[in-house]
Structure 1
């Protein structure tokens, strides 16, 4: 087990309690003697966790702790849990608006600990936005809320960038949760350039890639065929690639998206910048659904998440696999290791 080499524990948020967040966190801790699991503290309602353990037939030890400092020393003998002030109902598969306050509290506290430097990184379990919206949550999603928390604390704005990374592919959607019909109007040269700068910088400072290679996908089929199939690739994407290259960033494109994800093509770059959500997430999830991690770049904290939803339909059944969650822990620990050895800088 690699816990003794960690400088700081990770903080894990419980996510939507009617989903599999508790299931996969418990399962991951249970594997600690079979495979290296970075030490983490789970922000959750201990009573709900014990009810979920009973439902799953698990006989595990929980250590309720008051400070993240305690997590490293007790991780081997019990799962460290920082109790939430807001209680959670243990109802697998059933949303309840009363759970929203605890879900948000876990995110708030983990972010504060990360900003204060008492934990190495935040690993978030999936949330259900509908449940939070019903409680008055007004952010588009997890990532935007984290960016807002950091901005309010540090009095500056941040541009979060979603990185999907797995064993065979790392990719970034430049536009994310918007209708496909809106992509051409939202996509700009400036947005692509800003995204590329953040990706290149954080691949160096947080991922240890000395000279990141970026492959920039085209928007249209065949990357527009020099304007024959839509003008956006020549008018928007190519100038962004030129700008990134002028700044010393190794970028190529626009590339036809239908030929940039096979094995030989993937060997030529470190990260693919894609123009819209599905252009990035379809290849990422097809290649490694259970091992791909969602990592947020562009924030002053390290944040990773398993790349799946709440999976409420299998919560409490024992069918949830912790592979993506463990991969998120591993990536967060590696990124925190760069920070602990002085290689990470806060987002500019």
Structure 2
């Protein structure tokens, strides 16, 4: 099944044209050049991320040879999703997308975080208040890294299910060595998993795509079943599937990008709408107010926002500190 999918996805990507003109504000899609620009900004602001060239035979000619994909290694994952403590207000919030379909948003939005105090506070109020809290956290993290006033946004939809079934533990992604993973130390000892997190450019969907490869506390590769323990259950085996990495000879867990563009378009629209309101207010208060363009979302900030969105899918993988410290 996995090999058939790999062949199909490979043909589909090969036949897809390369996006030439910038459309990140209009559609949420980005060109390969914009992906590299956003990757350079991420690497500059967050040195834990690095560019990689991958296997020479798998390099895409529309990307620079030395900038085929991004990776951050040994990201800690201290607990499983089912071990997270939730409050009543942490329940998922449903909204309708533009096509009338329901989508999940703001999953586990009240969970504790090591570097964002506000996310640990109880969230009270209706759906708008929940979304505003999530928006505030996203924007404050971006502003911490850039001397640009980025406005609030209040509506983050989610990615939908894909129809592909997931290959289970016998998948190559498991890389099992035949040994039991239950022969470790006592449960009283903290079992720390780590992940290598990859970001590639998906030519077909014209958006970034996240990939995960996990290790247990003994540095043994995790099985696909174990990886799904670290994925929000609204996404496990649905939007998170096992597929072949486009630049490496291995299969990894991947967050399917079928709705990434729509999500990013909504985020950018909301942020830019608020920037207009903020600009008009500043213009009334001071003649030396900054130009409107300075408050607009820039394409090189794309991956910073993208990673915040992805944290709702993998809430226990603590890569978020790399962009908000």
Band of TM-score, shorter chain: under 0.3
Higher helix share: 1
Given the two structures, how large is their TM-score scaled by the length of structure 2? 0.27
Higher relative contact order (CA 8 A, sep 6+): 2
Given the two structures, how large is their TM-score scaled by the length of structure 1? 0.26
